[in-house]
Amino acid sequence: MGDLNVNLCGIELDNPIIPASGTFGYGYEFAELYDINCLGTFSFKGTTLESRAGNPLPRIAEGNAGMLNAVGLQNPGVDAVISEELPKLAKVFHKPVIANVSGFSVAEYAEVCGRLDAEPQVGWLEVNISCPNVHGGGMSFGTDPKAAAEVTRAVKRVTTKPVIVKLSPNVTDIVSIAKACENAGADAVSLINTVMSMRIDLKTRRPVLANTTGGLSGPAIFPLALRMVWQVYETVKIPILGLGGVSSAEDVIEMMLAGATAVQVGAANLVDPNACRDIIEALPKAMERYGIEKLSDITGGAH
């Protein structure tokens, strides 16, 4: 049987499979279906300083080979996550977890990350810089290298655990943003987040989503994600978490060959809640089929 172990920022994972934020809740819902300790780890639902009800309905739409969402960061806020969600999670998941953090100002990112950094079960902080910068005219932090670096530096000043910066694909040059985050102290980057998209209802002749646009995820974006992981690997020396349309063991191998140290699985969890478990179970045979003995050896192997 092949060796599935990988090392993410100094922490050993039994395998590189990580459910992506927003598709796995806080874990305990999936623990009713299978033992989630088979996962490498997972990234829990995006957390902000204050609770958020999210965007108006409808906020989910189907696409060809994918889905659109405009959930709007619905979450109970960092205090409730620490006091209510993490204790429930600790009962069913016995490994370090990735805390996904969103914010609307540099100060908010730092505040939320600082609080979650103190929690024993949090192993990494994943900083989602796709949020609108309310102090900078509404443009996403992740679309500007200087803004991305500013958030990274602010978070690193108040944390002791590895910081993963989650990058937006809705940019002209994702490489320059990844490099800016690395230079500002990021321990890793994860990419890609969802791709801005929309659908129109032919009967009403109006956008399907109440928010008009939403983020496209699923198999439709896999080739785009793969290309961006490839490009970023050519430039940065820090680990990359590859995500975007991953739905099979073969996709995992392809993403790692492009440069990923570990791989997040998102929309596939919403299609089949057993997706991550099934991918982990399928990996040894896929490795054997392609002559892979140690999975960590193939990162960047296609370059």
Give me the active site residues, please.
Answer: 131
Q: Give the pairing of strands 97-101 and 188-191.
A: unpaired
CA 66 and chain centroid, separation: 17
Strand partners, 262: 241
Cβ neighbours of residue 26 closer than 8 Å, sequence gap 6 or more: 44, 45, 81, 85, 86, 88, 89
Residue with tokens 């791989």: 263
The length of the chain is 303
For residue 100, the SS3 value is: strand
CB 107 within 8 A of CB 101: no
CB 106 within 8 A of CB 152: no
Alpha helices in the chain (DSSP H): 78-80, 86-92, 106-117, 145-157, 174-183, 222-233, 249-258, 268-271, 275-289
Q: Give the pairing of strands 97-101 and 122-128.
A: parallel
CA 217 and chain centroid, separation: 12
Dist CA 131 CA 56 (whole Å)? 17
Dist CA 222 CA 199 (whole Å)? 19
